[in-house]
């Protein structure tokens, strides 16, 4: 009998060991398939795999090709010809076939060659700037979405703690009700609060799943990939002040307008060349022919040179002259737009700095609010335990504490978004002001 019990106990022990081993293996396998992403890891992944970044790279490569071969307008045009003719049927025995072969080259040189090459160079430069801005836009989106996920994680964590508290309160009230020391109304009230917390937590989890799916798409990760975030709001909550004094500003809007002005000036020069600039054309053709079926051959070549000077530009009512004036107006308009963009940048930076300073003040106040809410909740809980406070007062104190904690994280999220917007507007590398 003892041997049977021994074998049974050994069988149960083996079963437990197997279950434990299987659980550890499953946990390890799950960890292997979960990618832990830091903020910088997410940025690197997005800059490598994001679709819009790849599209921008294609556009940049196309502009580079155009710039590299912008001189092709001065490349000579070459053509070759061959001809064979014979009367069928022949009218006489002396009717011979006619043969000929030739080659021709032609080229045109005009001042527009310079402006065309310059325009291709400026277009490539503009695309480089646009490409860098696309990278910054993607990085800005990644950083904001990363912190948004961190905020949601904190919000879910706080709601889970609130749910645990409301669950314990409900179970405690139910036990008191069964002992006859608490009314059924208090039990029902605690149950409603507990169920509401459950519904809110499910809603937050659903929002979190949607946000994670969008974030994976943004950083270029497969949807089946499991990720975890290693960041926190600790550094953000400890920020004391933010300043960009002494930093070099590189606004995309200002730089883009400056390049547009350079392009407009080149376009003005091109219109002036078209109105006043001379052009030179050269061509050479060589022909080798026979009219007696190839018995005798003749060859000859022709060289021609031509120079032309347009005169329409000297007539103020001509299209060429009007086009020059129109290009001048475009340059002046862009210069005014550039000055306005510089003023707008100053206003935008000032607005963001005010928002940042306000967030810093709010964070300090939110921290104090949490301390007060925590003290109030503890005092209310003690009073409720002694029967001097009702359940509604306790639930209100608990809600206020949760709200204070959520508001602090929300303020930290608002602060980091304002800091990122400031870095983006000023053209400062992301992460500079956070450190």
Please tell me the number of Cα atoms within 13 Å of 432 on its side-chain side: 16
Coil, strand, or helix at residue 292? coil
Q: Which two three-digit tokens encode residue 24?
A: 């550890």
For the chain, give the percent of residues with pLDDT over 70: 88
Q: Which pLDDT value is given to residue 115? A: 80
**Euclidean distance between CA atoms 230 and 311, whole angstroms:** 71
DSSP string, 365-382: HHHHHHHHHHHHHHHHHH
**Euclidean distance between CA atoms 263 and 80, whole angstroms:** 39
**Euclidean distance between CA atoms 248 and 242, whole angstroms:** 15
**Euclidean distance between CA atoms 261 and 213, whole angstroms:** 42
**Euclidean distance between CA atoms 238 and 243, whole angstroms:** 15
Ranges under pLDDT 50 in the chain:
1-31
As to burial, measured by CB atoms within 10 angstroms (0-12 exposed, 13-18 middle, 19+ buried), residue 23 is exposed
Do 356 and 417 touch, CB atoms closer than 8 A? no
Residue 46: Cβ within 10 Å count: 24
Do 335 and 328 touch, CB atoms closer than 8 A? no
**Euclidean distance between CA atoms 199 and 405, whole angstroms:** 20
Rounded (10°) CA dihedral 373, 379, 380, 386: 170
Per DSSP, helices labelled H in 233-318 are 234-237, 252-276
Do 156 and 201 touch, CB atoms closer than 8 A? yes
**Euclidean distance between CA atoms 390 and 387, whole angstroms:** 7
Do 374 and 398 touch, CB atoms closer than 8 A? no
pLDDT digit string, tens, across residues 286-312? 887 777 666 777 788 888 888 877 777
**Euclidean distance between CA atoms 329 and 337, whole angstroms:** 12
**Euclidean distance between CA atoms 256 and 11, whole angstroms:** 76
| Strands 34-37 and 226-229, sheet pairing | parallel
Q: Which pLDDT value is given to residue 269? A: 86
Please identify which residue in the block is written with the tokens 């306000």. 358
Q: Which pLDDT value is given to residue 27? A: 37
Those residues with Cβ within 8 angstroms of residue 225's Cβ, 6 or more apart along the chain or in another chain: 33, 35, 216
Please identify which residue in the block is written with the tokens 């490569």. 61
Please identify which residue in the block is written with the tokens 């000077």. 309
Do 306 and 280 touch, CB atoms closer than 8 A? yes
pLDDT digit string, tens, across residues 238-262? 888 888 888 888 888 899 999 999 9
Q: Which pLDDT value is given to residue 77? A: 79
Size of the chain in residues: 435
> How far lies 306's CA from each of 104, 107, 287, in Å?
16, 11, 21
Residue 21: Cβ within 10 Å count: 10
pTM score over 0.95: no
Q: Which of 44, 49, 27 is nearest to 221 (CA)?
A: 49
Q: Which of 334, 327, 316 is nearest to 268 (CA)?
A: 327
**Euclidean distance between CA atoms 278 and 286, whole angstroms:** 27
**Euclidean distance between CA atoms 173 and 391, whole angstroms:** 10
Query: What architecture is domain 35-73+113-279+333-426?
Result: Up-down Bundle (1.20)
Please identify which residue in the block is written with the tokens 């106040």. 365
Q: Which pLDDT value is given to residue 215? A: 94
Coil, strand, or helix at residue 34? strand
Q: Which two three-digit tokens encode residue 82?
A: 């061959």
């Amino acid at each position: 009998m003892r041997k049977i019990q021994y074998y049974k106990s050994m069988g149960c022990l083996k079963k437990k060991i197997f279950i434990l081993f299987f659980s550890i293996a499953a946990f390890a396998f799950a960890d292997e398939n979960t990618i832990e992403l830091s903020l910088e890891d997410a940025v690197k992944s997005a800059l490598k795999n994001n679709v819009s970044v790849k599209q921008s790279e294609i556009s940049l490569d196309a502009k580079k090709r155009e710039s590299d071969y912008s001189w092709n307008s001065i490349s000579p045009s070459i053509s070759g010809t061959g001809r064979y003719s014979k009367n069928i049927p022949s009218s006489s025995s002396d009717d011979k076939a006619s043969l000929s072969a030739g080659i021709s080259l032609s080229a045109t040189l005009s001042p527009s060659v310079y402006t065309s090459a310059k325009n291709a160079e400026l277009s490539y430069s503009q695309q480089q700037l646009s490409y860098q801005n696309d990278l910054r836009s993607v990085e800005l989106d990644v950083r904001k979405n990363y912190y948004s996920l961190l905020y949601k994680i904190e919000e879910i964590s706080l709601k889970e703690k609130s749910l645990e508290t409301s669950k314990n309160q409900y179970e405690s009230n139910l036990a008191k009700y069964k002992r006859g020391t608490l009314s059924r109304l208090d039990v029902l009230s605690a149950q409603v609060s507990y169920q509401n917390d459950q519904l809110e937590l499910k809603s937050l989890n659903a929002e979190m799943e949607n946000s994670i799916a969008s974030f994976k798409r943004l950083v270029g990760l497969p949807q089946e990939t499991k990720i975890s975030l290693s960041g926190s709001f600790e550094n953000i909550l400890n920020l004391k002040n933010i300043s960009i004094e002494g930093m070099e500003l590189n606004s995309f809007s200002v730089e883009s307008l400056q390049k547009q002005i350079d392009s407009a000036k080149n376009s003005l020069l091109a219109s002036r060349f078209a109105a006043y600039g001379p052009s030179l054309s050269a061509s050479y053709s060589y022909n080798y022919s026979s009219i007696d079926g190839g018995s005798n051959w003749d060859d000859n070549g022709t060289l021609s040179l031509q120079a032309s000077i347009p005169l329409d530009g000297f007539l103020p009512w001509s299209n060429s002259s009007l086009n020059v004036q129109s290009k001048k107006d475009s340059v002046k308009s862009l210069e005014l737009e550039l000055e306005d963009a510089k003023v707008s940048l100053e206003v935008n930076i000032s607005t963001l700095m005010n928002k940042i300073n306000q967030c810093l003040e709010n964070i300090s106040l939110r921290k104090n609010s949490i301390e007060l809410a925590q003290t109030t909740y503890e005092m209310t809980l003690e009073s409720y335990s002694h029967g001097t406070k009702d359940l509604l007062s306790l639930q209100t104190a608990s809600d206020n504490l949760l709200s204070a904690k959520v508001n602090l994280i929300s303020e930290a999220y608002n602060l980091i978004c304002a800091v990122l917007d400031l870095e983006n507007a000023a053209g400062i590398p992301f992460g500079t002001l956070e450190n």
